[in-house]
Structures are given as C-alpha cells and as structure tokens.
Amino acid sequence: MTTISLVAGNCGRGRGYEDGRFEFRSNLYLGKDFLASDLFNNNPFRRRANGCLSKALKGFGNGNGRRFRVIGRVKKGKKHDYPWPDNIDLDIKDGHLTYLSHFKPLAEKPKPVTLPFEKPLVDLEKKIIEVCRMADETGLDFTDQIGALENKYQQALKDLYTHLTPIQRLAIARHPNRPTALDHILNITEKWVELHGDRAGYDDPAMVTGIGTMDGKSYMFIGQQKGRNTKENIFRNFAMPTPHGYRKALRMMKYADHHGLPIITFVDTPGAYADLKSEELGQGEAIAHNLRTMFGLKVPIVTVVVGEGGSGGALAIACPNKLFMLENSVLYVASPEACAAILWKSSQAAPKAAEKLRITAQEHYKRKIADGIIPEPLGGAHADPVWTSQQIRLAITQAMDELTKMDTEELLRHRMLKFRSIGGFQEGKPVEPERKRNMKPSDASMLNAADIESDLEKLKKNILEAKVPSDPITDQAIEKLKQDVDNEVTRAFISMGLKEKLESLKLELSRASDNQTLNRNLKVKVDKLMQEFKQNLSRPGAYLGLKQKLEKLSMVSRLIEQKEKGEKLKAEINQKIPSEIKEKLEQLETAQANLSKGDPLDEDLVAEAVKAKKELIEVLKSANLEIVGVAKRKAAAELQEKIVNVKKEIDGEIERVIDVAGLRGKIEELKAEIAIDSSSPKVEKLQAEIKEEIRTALDDTALKQKVENLRREFATSSEEVIDDKVIDDKVIAENGRW
C-alpha cells in the first residue's frame, strides 16, 4: 500500500505559520490537467535527497513571478494488516503462530509481590541479603552463616506452605504473578494456533481458544485468560467473560466435537461479567447453553482449575470427564467476600466464610468433586511456572490415555455419573416442615439474654456470699468464662480479617529486645490493632455473643474487686475496734437472740448497746469513714423475701394477661426482629404495642396496693439504706462509705 502526501512550499507571498503551514492571499486553481498528467507523471518531478518529489508548475503564480511548488512524499505502508505478517512460512513444522495472538512476552519482568502472610519470610530474606552484602564488602567468609539462614528460610517456607488456611490459598490463587492459561498452554504444547471470534461479530479477549499439539496429538484448548499487568487485565476484563466469550467457547467445542479433537479447558475466573450489557445480551442463557452442550459432546473433556473458579462463570467450561485442581487453586459458588457480606454483613468475615465454603482443592478432592490435585512448588505456581506446567501436562496426558480408550457411550455415561455422584442424600430421617434461619451474625454457642442474666446473678450471689476469699466453685466458673471470652475474641479476630496482623504482631513481640524505640513502635502497632478491633466490635448487631460475655466478665471483675476491697476494709476496721466494744456487741447479739425467743429486754444492756454504738461510730470516724446509716439484717432479709414474692406475683399476672390477650405470636415476632436488628423502628413499634395491650388488659389496682405497702414497710424497716444493698447487720458499706 502506497500513500502520497502533498505539502505546499513557501514559494510566494502569503502568511507563514510556525508549524510549516502556509496561507496564500491570492486565489489559486488546480485543474484536472494537473492531477491527471503532472501529478502522476514521474518524469517532470525531481527527486530530492530527503525522499520528496517536487515540480515547479507553469501558469500558477502571482504577479511578482513567484511560482507555486507542490511537493509529494511517498510513504510505504504494510502490505497486510493484523494478523498476517508480510512473509508467512507455509512449511512451518513446529512452534506457535504468534501473529495470531495478542499474547506477547512481557517487556519487563513482573515485580515480586509479597502476600500478607508471607511477611515473616521477608525478614529472613533481608537478613540473607545483608549478610551477602557484608561478605562482598569485607571479603570475609560468611558461607556457614548464609547456609544456615537459607536452611532456616527453606524450613520456614515449608512450614508456612504446608499449613495454609483457605483464605491464604485464595490469596495465592489470586497472586498477580500467577501463570495464566496461555502461559500453561505455551509451556505444554509443541504447536499452537489461537482461534478467534464467536461468528457473530465479536471476539472476547477474556476467553482464549485454539488448537495445540502434545506428543503429536491435537487438542482443542479453551481457557479464561487473566492479565499479567494492569493494562492486560483491562484488556482481558480481569478474566470475566461476556456472553460473546461463552458463545466463542461453545463454537470451539462444537468444532472439536465435529473433528474429534479432545477438549482441554483451563478455569481461572472470578466469575462471569455481570454488567447490564451482558445481562441484556443473555449471560445466563449463554452459560446454560454451554452446560447443556458439554454433557452431550462425544469427545473426552479434561478441565484444570489453575487459579480461582467462580460460580457459573467457571462451570460454563468445566463439565468434564476429569477435573483437576492445582494445589493452591480454589473453586466456589460465591466468593468468600460476597458470602461474608451476605451472612455476616461484613466482608471482613471472609476468612470465616472461606472455611465454611470448603473452597480448596483438598476439600473438593475429599468430596470427589475434583479427580486429582496437581502439586505446586513451594511458594506457589509463580515460583516455578514451567515445572507447574509440566505437572499439568503429565496429569492431562494420563487422563486422556484413560478416556480415549472409552467408546462414545461409555464416555457420555462416565461424564454423567461423575456429576450424579456429587453430593449425597439421607433416607428415613424426618424433615422439619418449616425451619427458620437467622442470617444475622451469631454463634452456635451464644447464650440468649435470659441465660446470661441467670448465670450472672448466680455468679454474683456466689461471690458476695463466699465466706473465704477464694471459693473453688466460683473460681472455676470465672476461669471457664475467661476461656469462653478468649475463644470468642479469637474467632472475632478471624472474622474481622485481623488474624494475620495479630500473628505478625505476636512474632514481632517474641523477637523484641529491650530497645525502647522498638517497644514504642510495637506499642503503636498494638494500639492501632486494638482500635481497629474495637471499631469493628462496636458495630450495631455485630458479635452479640462476644459483647454479652465481655459485659458479664466485666461485671464479675467489678464484683470481685468490690468484695476484695470490702474484706480488706473489714479487716482494717476489726483491728481498730477495741476489744471492749467487741464484747459489748457480742452481748447485744445474744440479747437480740433471746429477745426473739420471748425473753424480757434488759434495760442496762440497751444502754450499753447505745454507748457501744456511739463508740463504734467514733472509731469509724477516726478511720476516715463516713457513717451513712444503720439497718437490721434480719429485717432486710425478710423484706427481700417479700419483694421476691411480689415480683413473682406480678410476673404471673403478666403471663396470664399475655395468654388471655393472645400476645405470644407478637412476642415471638419481636424476638426475631431483635435478633435481626435490635435498633430497628419495627422493634420499637412492636414493644410499644405489646406494652400498651398488656397495660390495657392488666388489672393493676391490687398489685399497686401491694407495691405501695411494700415501699412503706421498706421505709420503716431501717433508718437509712443506700443503693438498696445491705452488707452488714450493724453497718452499711457501699463504695467505701459506712
């Protein structure tokens, strides 16, 4: 293809511009004779050294005799546009037709990426680099130290990658440098040609297809392609195919079925692209069509999950006879982040969701969804892509050798039975006709509010009534409560996604020295982590079980502290009270006991008691204690019993009114709404309605009279009682006041 560009030289009067353009003031006319004869006749033109052709034209000029000159530059273009090159080798025997693919070698090596859980290994790498640098600078022999550090690094790497959690395997499957489908295809094939288009005018770059050979046999390869950098990811749409991509894969499957080519698919996608345009073009229909068609293909199909496989977007090319998964690949119906957002209302619970979803290759193999696990090198497939690809090739060839021995009927039945055997069922077990499920954040071991309140009252009673400072039963209950809180806190850290930060911080603390600067830095990190934890914990409706147990533990701690302070204060007062006053108080107690039996009252003993009381008050004042009241323990105990009886009577009356008015259903509805969101307007509305109906149906005249009588009796039963807490039969104490 040849093009000619025409430029006007500055040959006459006119107006010149800095960019080389020229504007003539006189009117010029270029006729057809010029175009027909002069322009396409090469003889009149003179070739210049810069490759331009020029000719002075007669009859064109202005009044000063200046001529108009036309200059033509010849530019040579490509003979063919993409994808065909100028010289095609028609006798090619091996290799890849690179001009048929957008997939080219990267100009720069990808930058190393460290995953969060790999940060402990970074410290060892830095130490190895530092020792090597010192050896180069000083010339000393550090071979033993470097060898020891490298062995330690390899052992740490082995320990880390042999005990990976599901969320960590997910991070490896999403690693930016992880080999893509085309990387594996180019590594395992001798010949490869990429095919394009869905025969409807579209070619989705997120879905790659083509024909390749292994050991002289031809196969149809289909895979979802991620990018190796940001630019490629945008071009490949982050491996999320549109309906055009699935129809392109369907066309290639039918092509392979027609020509008898075994099919190999590579799964690596977070899911099908779910934008509005894809839905309008029939995303669900395209996936469903692929699923239906794959079960009827008469050629062997092998699928390898090389990264992450998300929902139906992965399944649309993964209905094979044999399914293999790389060691650190994942396959899920919904991403852990999406699952956590649905079930726990926060994507921070993704680690917990990843465990519950059973997304790893090991879990799929255990449940016979995957037929085999392909090993990866330590550090993931990106640590040695070629070795990983060869392991994939070995698994594929072994599976194909087995499948190609089957006839068509056996192959179709084998594929059908594979999927029919997934899952299980039970017979003879009754099924609940209706089962309500609470999707809000909750724990199976979380007690309801009534149970926690009952346990707290029981524990409080044991603490206050204990005759010795340490009661074994009470201590055992408190220790169990602390263990429950520790377990709840650990689970909360995991669901918030803070476990890795916590483990990293523990590792730093274990290595920390006495350096004050280092300790200050660690303190800042600890404060920051705890601030993030408290912020997540304070969200409404989140971690209800942990919040209730923390409140319970806080209350118990305050009670124990109060009891210890009271015992200490009591011991100090007993030391300061003279023995004479103690003897008089004992005589007074004996007289009170005799009086309760009907014996006459000794007036002298009463006078002695009043005198002892005044002396005791003076002793307490000398100990900087304030006297706030005196009460009788027996009267208080009787009054407490009456209060309990009246409370039971009120509760019974309310229960009777609830049954009569038919409020049970509404109360159950209120409990369900509180479990979902205790602060919602619907909860407040239901509470107000229930209270109003109870108040209307309740005949509270008699109950009010009993409560009023109880109040009068309480007012006359003692001289003064502070905060309704009676501690001693002679002196009341509350927060250090007597």
- Which pLDDT does position 151 carry in this prediction? 85
The CA distance from 631 to 617, in Å, is 14
Which residues, 6 or more positions from 78, have their beta carbon under 8 angstroms from its beta carbon? 1, 86
Which of 332-341, 592-601, 687-696, 708-717 reaches the highest mean pLDDT? 332-341
Q: Which residues on neighbouring strands pair with residue 52, listed in sequence order?
A: 73
The CA distance from 447 to 444, in Å, is 8
CB count, 10 Å around CB of 400?
Answer: 20
Q: What is the pLDDT of residues 353-407, one digit of tens each?
A: 999 999 999 999 999 999 999 999 988 999 999 999 999 999 999 999 999 999 9
CB count, 10 Å around CB of 495?
Answer: 22
Q: What is the pLDDT of residues 565-613, one digit of tens each?
A: 777 777 777 776 777 767 776 776 776 666 555 566 566 666 766 777 7
Q: What is the pLDDT of residues 81-140, one digit of tens each?
A: 445 566 767 676 666 777 677 787 787 888 888 888 888 888 888 888 888 888 888 888
Instruction: List, as one string, the DSSP characters of 70-83.
Output: EEEEEEE--SS-TT
Q: pTM, whole model, 2 decimals?
A: 0.52
Using DSSP's 3-state secondary structure scheme, residue 602 falls into coil
CB 130 within 8 A of CB 263: no
Kindly state the average pLDDT of the residues 447-451.
48
How many Å separate Cα 346 from the centre of its chain? 8
Percent of the chain with pLDDT over 90: 31
The CA distance from 351 to 349, in Å, is 6
The CA distance from 257 to 263, in Å, is 8
The CA distance from 687 to 693, in Å, is 10
Q: What is the pLDDT of residues 405-425, one digit of tens each?
A: 999 999 999 999 999 988 877
Residue 629 zone, left/alpha/beta (φ > 0; ψ -120 to 50; rest): left
